[in-house]
Structure formats: C-alpha cells, structure tokens
A and B are shown apart, each in its own frame.
Chain A
C-alpha cells in the first residue's frame, strides 16, 4: 500500500509541471525578436545583438515568456513600454509610408516600362512589311540564306 502511494505521488509530481507547461503558451524570445524593433538601434531586435538596449529588451521579453505570457501579450507589453514603433511593421504616416509607397511605385514604373517596351516592339518597322517568322529569313542576304539552307539540310532526318 505504501509503495503504491509513493508511486502515485511520484507520478503526480512528475505530471504536474508537464500539465502546467502544456497550459503555458508556447513562445520564445527567438520567436518574438524578429517581429519587434530595438527602438534605439532602429533595427529589428533579432539583428541587434550587442546594443545595451537590445539586451535589456530581450531580458524584458524573457521575463514575460517565463511568466507564461503569449506572443500577443508580450507584444502588447512591449507596446505599453516603448510605443507602437516597437512593432516591426511599417506605420502609415510620415517616412514610414515609404515602406508601402516605394514598392508600389516601383511596381507601377515596372509595369509602365514593360507596357511601353511591348508597344514599341509591336510597332517596330518590319523588313518584309508584315508579321511572322518568315520575315527574318527573308532579311538574310543571298549567301547567308544559301548557307542556312545547307545547314538545315544537314539536320534533316
């Protein structure tokens, strides 16, 4: 009976931390540090390894992770401490707009360039005055054309 009781206590004491860990949201400093900024360094926290503020911020996150906070809760705590700019997503005012505007502008410029190039290519003057692949053969001189015919014959199966 005593042995059974001891065994039961051992099983319960082993299972208790596991159950607590299962309830604890699974996040880590590594999981969060690429989604938040080191405000003083001006880079994502993951890239700021040695800066004193980055070390402090990591320690702050670690304390919250050890307190079983979820990723969203940790981010909310960071925002409460350091403001919205701590999140590594561009804002929608001032220079931050460039993060959206520049790729958009680049895409528009690329599309305009491709459109203009396509229009010019389609409107280019053709030597035979028409379309089709025969035009390029007709543009060859007499000797080149004869050599091309001879080469093609060699590959006839």
Chain B
C-alpha cells in the first residue's frame, strides 16, 4: 500500500487519468450535436440559432434574421458533394413554388472553394439566396456532420424539422407546405 502512495506511481496515475480525461473531452467535443432531433421529437420548437455569414456571389452579409416572417428551408451543401448535385434541382423547383407564398430556400455553401461553388450555382441555375460558410463554423449550431443537410424554420424563427441527408418531395409536402398556412 505504501508503495502505491509513493510519489512515482501517484505521478504516473495522475498523468494517465489526465490523458484519459483529455481523450474523452476530445471525443465528446468532436461529436455532432443531436439536440435538435431530441427537441423536435419531444414536441419542442426551439428558436433557430441566428447565423450571420458572407453572401455568396455578392457583397455583404446575410443572416437568418433577414428572413424573419418567412418559412426558411436552410440547406447546407458543397460543390464537391455528390448527393448535393442530385438534390439541387429539386430545391430550385421548390424554391420557385414557395417564394410567392412567403417562403424561401436558403443555401449555405460550406467548406467549399468559391469558384467551384459559383460554377455549381451556374450549372444548376440556382436562384435562391446563398451564404458562404468557408470554415464550417455555423455547422455546429445545427449539428451538421455531413452534406447535404436541411433545416426547416417557421415564420417565427423556430426550428420545425431537420433532415440529415438529401430531401425529397415528400419532405417538402410533410414539413414545409403546412407551415405556409401559419401566421407570422
């Protein structure tokens, strides 16, 4: 017992515990946050975090607050993401249908080179507003871990649905269209 309490084993044990603690912190800190899913599953509608980012393809900044009063379909994408290529025409089609009814698709181009992103926008003739998140900083706010991911925000700025992966027509019918009837 005395041997265990001598300085050397104590120092080694403290070192090992510190390293394990650091490892655990690293694992937890790098894990994507799934709090939004949990909140939505329990019937809550938490307020959407306000993100402010440079506009892609034009000067200045844009934020979620700029769209308060509208239903926002926030879509995280990148030009190098293959599923995003398949999803983009559908988002454009829905944006054209939703815009006259007070809703918008809002793209967030993430971890992407601007020239490639611009080429992508031109290729798919995307007309919905775009923000650029070069270092992926705002992803943490929505627990984004892969691309594409889509978050639906109602007219009062509350989170209403989230899809970790490409969306389809059924997603819009089920999660977006009903929100159009809600008051601001």
Seen from chain A, the residues whose Cβ lies within 8 Å of a Cβ on chain B are: 39-40, 52-53, 55-57, 60, 63, 80-86, 94-95, 98, 101-102, 105-106, 109, 112-113, 116-117, 120
Closest chain-A Cβ to B123's Cβ sits at a distance in Å of 15
Main secondary structure of the interface of A (DSSP, over half): helix
Contact of B143 with A by CB under 8 A: no
- Tell me if B165 is interfacial: C-beta within 8 Å of chain A: no
Bound-complex Cα distance A105 to B113 (A): 38
Q: Does B40 contact A (CB under 8 A)?
A: no
Contact A56 B79 (CB under 8 A): yes
User: Hey, which chain B residues are within 8 Å of A94, CB to CB?
Assistant: 29
Query: Which chain A residue shows the least CB distance to B23?
Result: A98
A57 to B80, CA, bound (A): 10
Which residues of B81-111 are within 8 A (CB) of A? Answer: 81-82, 111
Task: Please give, as numbers and ranges, the residues of chain A lying within 8 Å of B115 by CB-CB distance.
Answer: 60, 63
B116 near A56 with CB under 8 A, answer yes
Contact (A83, B134) CB under 8 Å given A102-B19, A113-B11, A117-B8: yes
* A105 and B15 in contact, given A40-B111, A53-B78, A53-B111 (Cβ under 8 angstroms): yes
Docked-complex contact B135 and A82, CB < 8 angstroms? yes
CA distance A40 to B136 in the complex (A): 9
Residue in B closest to A117 when the chains form the complex, CB atoms: B8
CA distance A116 to B10 in the complex (A): 11
Q: Is the interface of B mostly helix, strand, loop or mixed?
A: helix
Name the one of A60, A63, A81, A112 contacting B134, with C-beta atoms under 8 angstroms.
Answer: A81
23 A-B contact pairs sorted by A residue (CB < 8 Å): A40-B111, A53-B78, A53-B111, A56-B80, A56-B112, A60-B115, A60-B116, A81-B112, A81-B134, A82-B134, A82-B135, A83-B134, A83-B136, A84-B135, A95-B26, A101-B22, A105-B18, A106-B15, A109-B12, A112-B11, A116-B11, A117-B8, A120-B6
Question: Are B11 and A109 touching (Cβ within 8 A)?
Answer: yes
For A117, what are the chain B residues with a Cβ–Cβ distance below 8 Å? 8
What would 16 more interface pairs be, CB under 8 Å, given A95-B29, A112-B7? A39-B111, A52-B80, A52-B82, A56-B79, A60-B113, A60-B115, A63-B115, A83-B134, A83-B137, A95-B25, A95-B26, A101-B22, A102-B22, A113-B8, A113-B12, A116-B11
